[in-house]
């Protein structure tokens, strides 16, 4: 008998964690962190299953909402093997280490405040530390190429297809025998849109008797990538021509490399007015190196460049700043410039001090290239607030804010349904990784286009396939 139970990303978009049981074999697909409102407390709750009973952990990709509870899983007794693509293995390491640094910093700030109020007892230890991350990578790992089959047990194999979401991202195919019949269950992980800027687009599905598909943007269509690229270029060129400085709050993984590639192309074609460009994020600098490590996963044009010894993410005007002092020194730069720094939603990181120094000037611009969640500083600026608080200081916002919507790393409704349409033999369809209301819209759209019924997965409810 085959059973699937979701312990995260069931009617939410974070905390991905799905337990698959085939006979006596237990396989966990992702072990992600809950993020956003109320998410942090949920990470401390019990998993809902016994970690020491799980035989395999399969990771779809290295975003923290898919890997952030792996250290906790190991602390609580998981002894099995971890399976992922090679790129996911490498990226997971830098993402978890960076995450540990942030958690430890947050812990220091929170505990200081709590001590002042005499509430030490309420403080939760950091979810994981750098030491815990080391233990994750001391475990037994098996890295797989796309479509390489790995036998878990007689009659049970796992393989990956390219999900086109970020470098190394995969959808997971589990093949097994049931009453002498071959069956396949597929987990989409996060699926990228059909058109990608720097990595290969997702592979088609082949056989999928049962499919668990993410539904983050199952309710909507994205703007086209071409249109977004044009909007981005216009915003860059007009600000620089106006002698302004551009701030780009950017996510370290994928989005930063996309922006670097676009600026590289603009530089090469002569479109980019003379300026200095700073990549001011240690994590993004490390991630970019890993994008260069796997040229085979880059889109054809970038792979070709890389094959000729050219770095797609580097060019003459780009400077990388790793230390805090180098970052602070950017504040004294007089020439017009472009500063790419995290965090992507301006709720921490080096972008904060750049915003503090640049927001007051109407010549400057902030270009948002990713979604800004409600309650973040980024969202306040996008929403047109006249003044914002940074490091306790009121800062007047005069800089222009541009929002470029079409750089999503997630497939929209059309791309998701097109992808489902490539499945052979599909009998059962389950929606995960999305908000309930959006999933209902998605389910109706799937029914209208493909005629498939879909089931919205509930947290903790076991599904028998
Ligand atoms: Zn993701």
CA max distance for the chain: 72
CA of 270 to the centre of ligand 1 (A): 34
- What pLDDT does residue 38 have? 63
CA of 168 to the centre of ligand 1 (A): 11
Mark out the alpha helices in 36-141 (DSSP H runs). Answer: 39-42, 64-67, 70-75, 86-116, 130-137
- What pLDDT does residue 39 have? 65
Parent domain of 275? 225-403
Does one domain contain both 168 and 267?
no
Does one domain contain both 237 and 204?
no
Give Cα separations from 312 to 81, 126, 316, 320, 369 (angstroms): 35, 37, 12, 15, 19
Read off the pLDDT of residues 251-295 as tens digits, 9 standing for 90 and up.
Answer: 999 999 999 999 999 999 999 999 999 999 999 999 999 999 999
CA of 191 to the centre of ligand 1 (A): 8
- What pLDDT does residue 112 have? 85
Does one domain contain both 414 and 398?
no
Does one domain contain both 260 and 335?
yes
Give Cα separations from 208 to 53, 308, 421, 460 (angstroms): 27, 39, 11, 23
Element spanning 233, H or E: helix 225-241
Give Cα separations from 397 to 129, 214, 248 (angstroms): 37, 37, 15
Peptide bond into 343 cis (omega under 30): yes
DSSP letter assigned to residue 299: -
- The CA distance from 81 to 103, in Å, is 26
Read off the pLDDT of residues 419-457 as tens digits, 9 standing for 90 and up.
Answer: 999 999 999 999 999 899 999 999 999 999 999 999 999
Sign of the alpha-carbon torsion through 127, 132, 133, 139: negative
For residue 95, count CB atoms less than 10 angstroms from its CB and return exposed for 0-12, middle for 13-18, buried for 19 or more.
buried
CA of 154 to the centre of ligand 1 (A): 31
Neighbour count for residue 262 (Cβ, 10 Å): 20
CA of 423 to the centre of ligand 1 (A): 22
CA of 358 to the centre of ligand 1 (A): 31
Does one domain contain both 248 and 202?
no
Does one domain contain both 168 and 246?
no
DSSP letter assigned to residue 124: P
Does one domain contain both 129 and 191?
yes
- What pLDDT does residue 37 have? 67
- What pLDDT does residue 35 have? 86
- What pLDDT does residue 122 have? 75
CA of 295 to the centre of ligand 1 (A): 20
Looking at the 3D structure of the chain, how many domains does it have? 2
- The CA distance from 407 to 125, in Å, is 36
DSSP letter assigned to residue 416: H
Does one domain contain both 187 and 269?
no
Q: How far is CA 286 from the centre of its chain?
A: 15
β 18-22/25-29 pair status = antiparallel
- What pLDDT does residue 176 have? 97
Does one domain contain both 181 and 296?
no
Does one domain contain both 208 and 231?
no
- What pLDDT does residue 320 have? 98
CA of 237 to the centre of ligand 1 (A): 31
CA of 183 to the centre of ligand 1 (A): 27
CA of 190 to the centre of ligand 1 (A): 5
User: What is the CATH classification number for the domain harbouring 68?
Assistant: 3.60.15.10
CA of 66 to the centre of ligand 1 (A): 7
Does one domain contain both 11 and 52?
yes
Residues of the chain with pLDDT under 70: 37-39
- The CA distance from 368 to 341, in Å, is 11
User: Which residues are found with C-beta within 5 Å of the ion, ligand 1?
Assistant: 63, 190
């Amino acid at each position: 008998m085959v059973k699937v139970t979701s312990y995260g990303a069931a009617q939410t978009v974070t905390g991905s964690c799905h337990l698959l049981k085939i006979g006596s074999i237990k396989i966990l697909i992702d072990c992600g962190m809950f993020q956003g409102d109320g998410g942090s407390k949920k990470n401390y709750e019990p998993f809902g299953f016994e970690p020491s009973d799980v035989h395999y952990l399969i990771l779809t990709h290295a975003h923290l909402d898919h890997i952030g509870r792996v250290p906790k899983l190991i602390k609580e007794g998981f002894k099995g093997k971890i399976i992922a693509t090679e790129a996911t293995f490498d990226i997971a390491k830098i993402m978890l280490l960076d995450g540990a640094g942030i958690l430890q910093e947050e812990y220091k700030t929170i505990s200081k405040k709590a001590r002042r109020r005499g509430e030490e007892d309420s403080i939760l230890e950091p979810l994981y530390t750098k030491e815990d991350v080391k233990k994750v990578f001391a475990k037994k790992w098996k890295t797989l190429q796309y479509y390489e089959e790995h036998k878990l047990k007689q009659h049970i194999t796992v393989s990956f297809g390219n999900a086109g979401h970020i470098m190394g991202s995969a959808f997971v195919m589990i093949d097994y025998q049931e009453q002498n019949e071959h069956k396949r269950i597929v987990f989409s992980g996060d699926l990228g849109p059909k058109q990608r800027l720097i990595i290969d687009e997702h592979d088609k599905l082949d056989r999928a008797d049962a499919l668990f598909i993410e539904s983050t943007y199952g309710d909507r269509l994205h703007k086209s990538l071409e249109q977004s690229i044009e909007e981005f270029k216009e915003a860059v060129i007009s600000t620089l021509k106006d002698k302004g400085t551009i701030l780009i709050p950017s996510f370290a993984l994928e989005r930063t490399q996309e922006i670097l590639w676009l600026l590289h192309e603009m530089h090469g074609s002569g479109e980019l007015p003379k300026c200095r460009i700073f990549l001011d994020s240690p994590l993004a600098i490390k991630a970019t190196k890993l994008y260069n490590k796997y040229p085979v996963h880059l889109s054809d044009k970038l792979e070709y460049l890389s094959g000729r010894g050219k770095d797609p993410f580097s060019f003459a005007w780009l400077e990388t700043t790793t230390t805090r002092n180098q970052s602070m020194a950017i504040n004294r730069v007089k020439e017009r410039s472009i500063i790419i720094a995290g965090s992507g939603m301006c709720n921490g990181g080096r972008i904060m001090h750049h915003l503090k120094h640049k927001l007051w000037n109407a010549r400057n611009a902030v270009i948002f290239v990713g979604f800004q969640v409600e309650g973040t500083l980024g969202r306040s600026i996008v929403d047109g607030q006249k003044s914002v608080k940074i490091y306790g200081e009121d800062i007047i916002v005069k800089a222009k804010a541009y929002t470029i919507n079409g750089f999503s790393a997630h497939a929209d409704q059309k791309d998701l349904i097109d992808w489902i349409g490539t499945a052979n033999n599909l009998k059962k369809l389950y929606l995960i990784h999305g908000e309930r209301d959006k999933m209902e819209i998605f389910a109706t759209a799937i029914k209208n286009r493909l005629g498939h019924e879909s089931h919205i997965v509930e947290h903790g409810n076991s599904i028998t396939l």
